[in-house]
Each structure stands twice: as C-alpha cells, then as structure tokens.
Amino acid sequence: MGLLFVKGQSDLITTVILVGVTIVIGVGFLSFVAPNISRVVGESNMKAVLYEEQSNIVVYKEFENATQLCIGLLRIAPGTTVYSIAILDENLNSIINTSHTNLVYFPPNPQPVATSRITPPKKVYYIAGGDYYPIPHEISVVYIPQNLTSNYIGKGRPLLLCIRKNSIPGDQMARIFILVSLNNNLYEVGRVYVSK
C-alpha cells in the first residue's frame, strides 16, 4: 500500500514539472514574439495612415512660367494634417536652405511667410518603387504655416504655393516633395518636378 502512495506522488510531481516547463517556455516565447508583433502592427498602421494621406492630397501645377512655378495643394477629405515641403535636386540634396526662405511664398502675399528648418539625417522619407526610404543626410524643410493649412487645405479648399525658379541653382531639375509628419519623421505624400 505504501508503494502505491509513492507512485501517485511521482505522477503528480511529473505533471507539475511538465506544466511548469510549459509555462516557462510559453512566457519566453511570448516575450520574444510580442515586441516583433507590436512593431509589425505599428508599421502596418503607419503605412495605412500614409496611404490615406497620399490618397487624400492632390498636388497639381497651377501655373508655370520662366520665373515661377505655382502648385496647388487640395485635400479631398477635410482634415488637420500639417504639411511641409522640401525642394531637392536629383541626388536628394537640398536646393533651399534656411537663408533661402524667399524661395517659397503663398499668393496673394508675395512675401515669404513660411519657416525653413534643417532636418537631421534619416528623418525624412521619400517614395521609390512603392516603399519609403530615408534621405541619408540633413535637408532643409519649409513648413507650411498652420493658419494656411487650417484655412485652406483643412477645409477642402486649394492652397496655392509658389516657388521662385531663379533661386534654383544652375539648370537643375528640382523635385518638390510634399511631406506630412508622423512619429516625429516626415514622409512624402506628393511630388512635383520643376526645371529652370
């Protein structure tokens, strides 16, 4: 009779050990997989927001002559997105810098009202082949004033943005990137090309 009691205890101890090992393996696996799952979900949500922004903004050439190019920004669905622009050459180098703030203006006011700031490397992303890639060096970004964004783009009315072409050096082709801010980075949602 004493032998059966010991055998019953060994089955119970074996079961407890197996359950404990399973729990430890499960917790270890969960701690390994959870950060990756949240990263993938976060990237998926970010891409969804960016695709929505891309589909909501219309960027078009309103007017172009030898001295200026005016583009229109129109948001299809009203919203509160803040936009900025970067004017880059073919090698993704800034054509503007903080001293060239007169390059961009918003009619009917010919005076510049936008601010330009240097953005650190890998904080601005552009689209190539359907994916986003970081610009590997610092660039200058012009921020569209909040009052213009809310009074025009945010209410579904077009905002006119003009670039003085004489500020573009040489005979370069320039790319005007329309950017939105997301997770402390800037992402391209539209692009227009301009040559002198």
The mean pLDDT value for 127-138 works out to: 89
pLDDT band at 1 (very low <50, low <70, confident <90, very high): very low
The mean pLDDT value for 80-93 works out to: 84
Write down the pLDDT at residue 103.
67
**Angle at alpha carbon of residue 154, lines to 148 and 160, rounded to 5°:** 45
**Backbone dihedral region for residue 111 (phi beyond 0: left; psi -120 to 50: alpha; all else: beta):** beta
Write down the pLDDT at residue 82.
81
Closest-CA residue to 80 (of 191, 179, 156): 156
**Angle at alpha carbon of residue 175, lines to 50 and 57, rounded to 5°:** 35
Structural domains of the chain, ranges and CATH numbers in brackets: 59-195 (2.60.40.10)
Q: What is the 3-state secondary structure (H, E, C) of 55-94?
A: HHEEEEEEEECCCEEEEEEEECCCCCCCEEEEEECCCCCE
pTM: predicted TM-score of the whole model, two decimal places: 0.73
Residues belonging to the chain: 196
56-70 pLDDT per residue, tens = 888 888 888 888 888
91-120 pLDDT per residue, tens = 888 876 555 555 676 676 655 566 778 888
What is the spatial distance between Cα 45 and Cα 119, in angstroms, rounded to a whole number? 24
Residue pair 174/168 in contact (Cβ under 8 Å)? The answer is: yes
Residue pair 158/106 in contact (Cβ under 8 Å)? The answer is: no
What is the spatial distance between Cα 175 and Cα 94, in angstroms, rounded to a whole number? 10
Write down the pLDDT at residue 186.
93
Write down the pLDDT at residue 125.
92
Closest-CA residue to 72 (of 156, 132, 145): 156
Write down the pLDDT at residue 119.
86
